[in-house]
Amino acid sequence: MSIYDYTMENRDGSQASIGDYAGKVLLIVNTATGCGFTPQYEDLEAIYAEYKDQGFEILDFPCNQFANQAPGTDEEIHEFCTVKFGTDFPQFKKIEVNGENAHPLFADLATQKPFGGFKGLKGMALKTVQKAVDKEFGDKAYIKWNFTKFLIDRDGNVIERFEPTVDMNDVKKAVAAAL
């Protein structure tokens, strides 16, 4: 199955196809509004603003599976992101990325690019949490925390996975190289 075969729900409940983004470089991210990594929205928007005219899209999928850090309705989440961070990239309906109800897109992405470990001081702190998440979801613990990012090339290939502890400048460099 190609990444372009997956469908998602827009915030309004209508269906969207990842295939609508074929031929573009994509950064697919699971996000949360109440996380220590939430300020990454600012960096994501800056990367998006710089590269969107070159065929780049960020696809934002809020997820409340990590310490309930994405509370609220889809519209409340969207309003928070647009008001606080000025986000302009597509944001979809809240989903699950782990467990029995994990969206197949995230299961596929994580299978293609498995978890490579957290980095830095924040990474050390997240290791304990990761073990709890892994226990909770068992073999379906695809994503380890909020703001995990998958970089997709123009042909729909997963070329890189960035854990939330990766420096956003490294993400930006990888996006620029993929373009």
Any idea which residues carry the catalytic annotation? 35
Nearest to 2 by CA among 20, 18, 26, 24: 18
Containing 107, the helix (H) or strand (E) segment is helix 104-112
Distance (Å, rounded) from C-alpha 93 to C-alpha 13?
7
Distance (Å, rounded) from C-alpha 130 to C-alpha 153?
28
CA angle centred on 21, ends 179 and 166, rounded to 5°: 50
